[in-house]
Amino acid sequence: ISGDTQQFAGVPPASQLKVLDVAMFSIGQFERSDASFRVFEHQTPEAYYRLVCRDGKLVGANLFGDNGPAGVVKTAIEEGRQLAEYGALLKRFPELKSFV
């Protein structure tokens, strides 16, 4: 419309559902494709979290049992900015600070 050439890169595929009162959320690339990817996993009796990072950015996630962090995870992946810019995510998962 403005005369500029812009390319739409799309959005990462995401899924959210609840089955038998268990919340699940997945987005982006949640498997390593080479050694440059780092995986953070955290498990509690109620939930499992798997966050995949590359070059200091969150690129994929699986959340099972607790979708509470889904909003900030989705934003971080879609915006593609450095993890250091997402204080709420680092507060929730302090171990991610070593991935920054």
HEC secondary structure over 26-95? EEECCCCCCCCEEEEEEECCCCEEEEEEECCEEEEEEEECCCCCHHHHHHHHHHCCEHHHCHHHHHHCHH
Say yes or no to pLDDT of 11 above 80. Answer: no
**Predicted TM-score (pTM) of this structure:** 0.79
pLDDT digits (tens, 9 = 90+) for 17-38: 677 788 999 999 878 888 899 9
